[in-house]
C-alpha cells in the first residue's frame, strides 16, 4: 500500500467502536477510507461484503469504487459495497415490498414529479409554477423531511416575520398535499425512502436484525452533509455495536437548505462517550498561501471544531483580489486570463445566474473549451428575461397581443384588467397600444398617459439591446414593478439588479433586437452541446464544485446581500461555502469583484474583507484606477 501520514495511519487502524475523523480539505480522506477497508479485511479478517461505505452522492460512490479498483484491486481483489444512503434505504424498502407483495412505484421521472407539484401549486395559487419556484419548493420539501420538521417547527423558526412565515407555512401546506398525493397513488420519492426504511426497521425486528448482521461495520464519507433523518437510519443499523466510522469536515457543511445536520458532528462525543477522535490536518492540495487564507477565513465561524491546518506545499501565490467597474470588464479580464494558465481552471459562483454573461463572453472570445456543471439552461427561459423579450417584441411588432398581455401590468401606463380584456376581445389589425388609446370609456388623462406610453414604445424600437433594457427598466417602469413585487417573487433588489445586469452584459456588443434574441437561442444551444471530456475550464456553482479541485480558480459575484445573504442565521454556512470555494484551488485563486451592478454601487462582500485581512494581493482594472483617482 502507498505511504500514509502518521495521522492517516492512526485513523486507518481504527477497528471497533464509534470514531470521528475530522479531515480538512485536500488531506486525503478518500485515501484513508480505502486503506481502512483493506486493514479491516486483510488484517482484521472482516468479510469485505460486511463493511458498508456510505457516501453523500452517487458520483462519490462511483469515484470511490473506481479509485479502489485502479489503486488496490490487483493486490487486494475485494468487492466492498459503496453506495449512497438513499440507495441503502431503497434496498431496505425494496426487500420489504418484495416480501409483502405490496405495490409501490418510485417517482424518479423528474418531468412527472414537476407535473404533480405544478398541478398542486396551480390549484393552490391559481398561477403556473416556474422552474425557480419549483427548485425552491424541492429544497424546502427535502429540508422538512430530513430535519423531521412539523408545521409548528416551521412556524416557530420564522418568528415574527409575518410575510416570511406566511410563505413558509404555505410551502409546508403544499408539502403535505404532495405527500398525500403520493400516498393516494402508491408513489414514493427519494426522501420517502428514508422515512419508509426507518419505519420498516422499527416495525420489523427480523428485518432490523438482518441488516445489522449484514453490515456490522459502517463507514460514512462526507458525514457533514448527512441529515438528521439519515443519521437516524445509520445509527439504527450500527446499534448496538456502533462500529461507526465517520469522516467529515464540519467546516465544509454547506447543504443546510437540503437538511444537512452538522450539529450531529459537534454532538458526536456526547452521543458516544467512548468515541475515538482522529484529525487529518495536512493539506496536500493547495499552495500554503491558499491554505493559510482559508484557515483565517473559516476561523471567524464560532460553531465549529477548532483544528490545525498545515500546508504540505510552499507559499508561492497569495490569493488575488481584482476590482472592476462592471461585469463586462470583469468578464473580459477572465477571458484573457484563462489563456495564461495551464492545467485545470474553474470559475465558481454562488448562484447560477452569475454564469450567464460569462457564457456569452467565453463563447465569443475563448478558444479553449469550457464546460458548465449544472448548466443554467432554465435561466434563459426565466420569467424576467421573457418579460424583457416581450417588451422588445411589442416595440417591434405592435400587433403582438401575447407580448402585450404579458407586460401590460408591468409598465407605468396604469393599464387595468378591464382595458386589457377590451383590447384582447377586439378584432383589429391595429397595434395593441393604438387599440388601448381608442377605447371609448377612457378619461382624457388616461388617453394622454397611453399616448405617452405608445411614444416610449416607438422610441424603444429604435434602441440597441443594451440601451433598450435600461429604457425598459426606467422609462417604462419595469424596475418599479420589480421593486414593488420583489418580496412576492422572493427576490431582493440586489438579486434583481444582478439579473438585469447579466442580461445587459449579454446585450452590450449587439446592435439589434433580432441579434439579441438570436444570441439567447445560441446560448441555449451552447449549453446543450458542451462536452465535458474536452473542457479545460469548468464553470460551476460552489455547491456543484464541492469535492473537486482545480489548478486555478476564479470566484465571482462575491457581493454584499447575495454572498452572504442578509439572513444572519445563514452567515456561518455561507462562510463555509466561501471556504469550500477557496480550497478548490491548488495553485492560484482570484476573487473578482465589480464595483457597479446595473448602474448602482455594488458593495463588496464581507468575505473579501476577510481575505484582505490575510494579506492577499489586490489589483484594480485601468478604468477602476481612473475612477478611484477622480473621487
pLDDT, tens digit, for every residue of 26-48?
Answer: 999 999 999 999 999 999 999 99
| pLDDT for residue 374 | 82
Task: Check whether the bond before 270 is cis (ω within 30° of 0).
Answer: no
Quote the distance between the C-alpha of residue 9 and its chain's center.
Answer: 35
491: left (phi over 0), alpha (psi -120 to 50) or beta: beta
Across 131-135, 239-243, 340-344, 358-362, least confident range? 131-135
Query: Over pLDDT 90: what percentage of the chain?
Result: 75
Residue 346 contacts by C-beta under 8 Å, 6 or more apart in sequence?
A: 537, 538, 539, 540, 545, 548, 550, 552, 553, 554, 584
Residue 556 contacts by C-beta under 8 Å, 6 or more apart in sequence?
A: 330, 334, 347, 348, 349, 354, 358, 592
- 116 among the known binding-site residues? no
Across 495-499, 553-557, 606-610, least confident range? 495-499
In eight-state DSSP terms, residue 260 is B
d(CA 584, CA 602): 26
Instruction: Flag whether pLDDT at 631 surpasses 50.
Output: no
User: Is 582:317 a contact under the CB 8 Å cutoff?
Assistant: no
Which run of H or of E encompasses 514? helix 513-529
Confidence class of residue 535 from pLDDT cuts 50, 70 and 90? confident
- 518 among the known binding-site residues? no
d(CA 313, CA 334): 26
- 206 among the known binding-site residues? no
pLDDT digit string (tens) for 56-102?
Answer: 888 899 999 999 999 999 999 999 999 999 999 999 999 999 999 98
User: Is 616:318 a contact under the CB 8 Å cutoff?
Assistant: yes
Pairing of strands 105-106, 51-55: unpaired
| pLDDT for residue 412 | 87
Least Cα distance to 535 among 308, 307, 362, 326 occurs for 362
The DSSP secondary structure of 11-75, one letter per residue, reads HHT--SS-EEEEE-TTS-HHHHHHHHHHIIIIIS---GGGEEEEESSHHHHHHHHHHHHHHTTTT
Instruction: Flag whether pLDDT at 472 surpasses 80.
Output: yes
Which run of H or of E encompasses 588? strand 585-594
Distance in Å from the first CA to the final CA of the chain = 62
Which residues is 325 bridged to in the sheet? none
User: Is 540:372 a contact under the CB 8 Å cutoff?
Assistant: yes
Confidence class of residue 257 from pLDDT cuts 50, 70 and 90? confident
pLDDT digit string (tens) for 154-195?
Answer: 888 776 666 667 788 889 999 999 999 999 999 999 889 999
- 29 among the known binding-site residues? yes
| pLDDT for residue 64 | 94
Instruction: Flag whether pLDDT at 377 surpasses 70.
Output: yes
- 26 among the known binding-site residues? yes
Backbone angles phi, psi at 376, to 5 degrees: -80, 55
| pLDDT for residue 148 | 86
Instruction: Flag whether pLDDT at 50 surpasses 80.
Output: yes
414: left (phi over 0), alpha (psi -120 to 50) or beta: left
| Surface-to-core class of residue 396, CB atoms within 10 Å of its CB (0-12 exposed, 13-18 middle, 19+ buried) | middle
Torsion of CA 147, 151, 157, 161, to 10 degrees: 150
| pLDDT for residue 330 | 95
Quote the distance between the C-alpha of residue 608 and its chain's center.
Answer: 20
Across 273-277, 335-339, 578-582, least confident range? 335-339
The DSSP secondary structure of 350-395, one letter per residue, reads SSTTHHHHHHHHHHHH--S-EEESS--GGGGG-HHHHHHHHHHHHH
d(CA 143, CA 367): 42
Rg of the chain (C-alpha set): 28
d(CA 511, CA 115): 39
Pairing of strands 600-601, 596-597: antiparallel
Which run of H or of E encompasses 278? strand 276-280
Instruction: Flag whether pLDDT at 152 surpasses 50.
Output: yes
Instruction: Flag whether pLDDT at 627 surpasses 70.
Output: no
d(CA 23, CA 310): 12
How far apart, in Å, are the Cα atoms of 408 and each of 411, 414, 462? 6, 9, 20
| pLDDT for residue 551 | 97
User: Which three three-digit cell numbers place residue 117?
Assistant: 407539484
Backbone angles phi, psi at 315, to 5 degrees: -90, 115
565 SS3 class: strand
Instruction: Flag whether pLDDT at 626 surpasses 70.
Output: no
Residue 70 contacts by C-beta under 8 Å, 6 or more apart in sequence?
A: none
Pairing of strands 310-311, 282-283: parallel
Task: Check whether the bond before 136 is cis (ω within 30° of 0).
Answer: no
Across 273-277, 340-344, 360-364, least confident range? 360-364
Helix 444-460, helix 465-474: angle, nearest 10: 160
Mean pLDDT of the chain: 91
Least Cα distance to 354 among 337, 374, 369, 339 occurs for 374
Backbone angles phi, psi at 113, to 5 degrees: -60, -45
| pLDDT for residue 625 | 41
CB atoms within 10 A of CB 150: 10
| Surface-to-core class of residue 47, CB atoms within 10 Å of its CB (0-12 exposed, 13-18 middle, 19+ buried) | exposed
Which residues is 292 bridged to in the sheet? none
Amino acid at each position: 500500500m502507498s505511504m500514509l501520514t502518521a495521522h492517516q495511519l492512526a485513523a486507518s487502524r481504527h477497528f471497533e467502536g464509534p470514531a470521528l475523523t475530522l479531515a480538512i480539505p485536500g488531506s486525503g480522506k478518500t485515501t484513508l477510507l480505502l486503506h481502512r477497508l483493506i486493514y479491516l479485511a486483510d488484517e482484521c479478517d472482516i468479510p469485505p461484503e460486511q463493511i458498508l461505505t456510505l457516501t453523500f452522492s452517487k458520483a462519490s460512490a462511483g469515484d470511490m469504487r473506481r479509485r479502489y479498483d485502479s489503486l488496490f484491486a490487483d493486490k487486494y481483489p475485494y468487492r466492498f459495497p459503496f453506495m449512497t444512503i438513499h440507495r441503502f434505504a431503497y434496498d431496505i424498502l425494496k426487500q420489504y415490498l418484495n416480501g409483502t407483495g405490496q405495490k409501490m412505484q418510485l417517482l424518479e421521472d423528474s418531468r412527472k414529479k414537476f407535473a404533480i407539484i405544478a398541478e398542486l401549486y396551480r390549484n393552490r395559487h391559481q398561477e403556473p409554477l416556474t422552474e425557480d419556484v419549483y427548485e425552491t419548493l424541492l429544497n424546502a420539501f427535502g429540508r422538512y423531511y430530513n430535519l423531521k420538521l412539523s408545521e409548528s417547527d416551521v412556524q416557530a423558526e420564522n418568528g415574527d416575520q409575518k410575510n416570511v412565515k406566511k410563505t413558509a407555512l404555505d410551502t409546508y401546506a403544499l408539502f403535505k398535499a404532495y405527500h398525500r398525493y403520493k400516498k393516494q397513488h402508491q408513489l414514493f420519492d427519494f426522501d420517502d425512502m428514508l422515512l419508509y426504511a426507518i419505519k420498516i426497521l422499527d416495525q420489523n425486528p427480523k428485518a432490523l436484525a438482518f441488516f445489522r448482521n449484514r453490515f456490522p461495520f459502517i463507514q460514512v464519507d462526507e458525514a457533514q452533509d448527512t441529515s438528521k433523518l439519515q443519521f437516524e437510519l445509520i445509527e439504527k443499523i450500527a446499534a448496538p455495536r456502533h462500529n461507526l466510522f465517520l469522516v467529515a469536515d464540519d467546516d465544509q457543511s454547506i447543504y443546510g437548505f437540503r437538511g444537512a445536520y452538522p450539529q450531529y458532528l459537534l454532538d458526536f462525543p456526547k452521543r458516544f462517550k467512548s468515541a475515538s477522535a482522529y484529525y487529518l490536518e495536512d493539506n496536500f492540495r493547495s499552495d500554503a498561501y491558499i491554505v493559510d487564507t482559508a484557515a483565517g477565513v473559516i476561523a471567524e465561524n464560532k460553531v465549529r471544531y477548532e483544528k490545525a491546518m498545515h500546508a504540505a506545499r510552499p507559499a508561492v501565490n497569495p490569493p488575488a483580489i481584482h476590482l472592476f467597474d462592471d461585469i463586462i470588464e470583469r468578464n473580459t479580464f477572465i477571458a484573457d486570463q484563462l489563456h495564461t494558465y495551464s492545467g485545470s481552471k474553474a470559475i465558481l459562483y454562488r448562484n447560477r445566474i452569475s454564469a450567464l454573461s460569462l457564457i456569452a463572453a467565453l463563447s465569443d472570445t475563448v478558444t479553449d473549451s469550457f464546460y458548465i456543471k449544472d448548466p443554467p439552461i432554465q435561466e434563459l427561459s426565466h420569467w424576467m428575461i421573457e418579460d424583457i423579450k416581450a417588451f422588445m417584441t411589442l416595440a417591434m411588432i405592435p400587433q403582438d397581443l401575447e407580448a402585450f398581455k404579458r407586460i401590460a401590468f408591468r409598465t407605468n401606463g396604469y393599464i387595468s384588467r378591464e382595458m386589457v380584456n377590451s383590447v384582447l376581445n377586439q378584432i383589429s389589425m391595429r397595434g395593441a397600444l393604438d387599440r388601448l388609446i381608442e377605447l371609448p370609456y377612457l378619461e382624457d388623462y388616461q388617453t394622454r398617459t397611453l399616448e405617452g406610453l405608445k411614444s416610449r414604445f416607438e422610441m424603444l424600437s429604435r434602441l440597441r439591446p443594451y440601451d433598450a433594457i435600461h429604457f425598459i427598466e426606467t422609462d417604462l417602469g419595469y424596475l418599479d414593478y420589480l421593486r414593488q413585487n420583489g418580496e412576492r417573487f422572493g427576490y431582493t433588489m440586489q438579486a434583481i439588479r444582478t439579473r438585469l445586469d447579466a442580461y445587459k452584459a449579454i446585450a452590450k456588443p449587439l446592435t439589434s433586437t433580432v441579434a439579441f434574441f438570436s444570441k439567447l437561442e445560441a446560448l441555449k444551444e451552447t449549453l446543450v452541446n458542451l462536452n465535458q471530456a474536452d473542457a479545460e475550464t469548468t464553470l460551476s456553482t460552489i455547491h456543484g464544485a464541492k469535492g473537486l479541485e482545480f489548478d486555478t480558480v476564479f470566484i465571482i459575484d462575491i457581493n454584499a446581500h447575495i454572498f452572504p445573504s442578509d439572513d444572519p442565521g445563514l452567515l456561518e454556512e455561507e462562510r463555509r461555502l466561501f471556504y469550500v470555494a477557496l480550497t478548490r484551488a491548488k495553485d492560484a485563486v482570484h476573487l473578482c469583484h465589480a464595483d457597479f451592478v446595473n448602474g448602482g454601487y455594488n458593495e463588496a462582500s464581507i468575505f473579501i474583507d476577510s481575505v484582505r485581512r490575510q494579506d492577499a494581493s489586490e489589483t484594480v482594472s485601468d478604468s477602476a484606477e481612473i475612477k478611484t483617482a477622480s473621487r
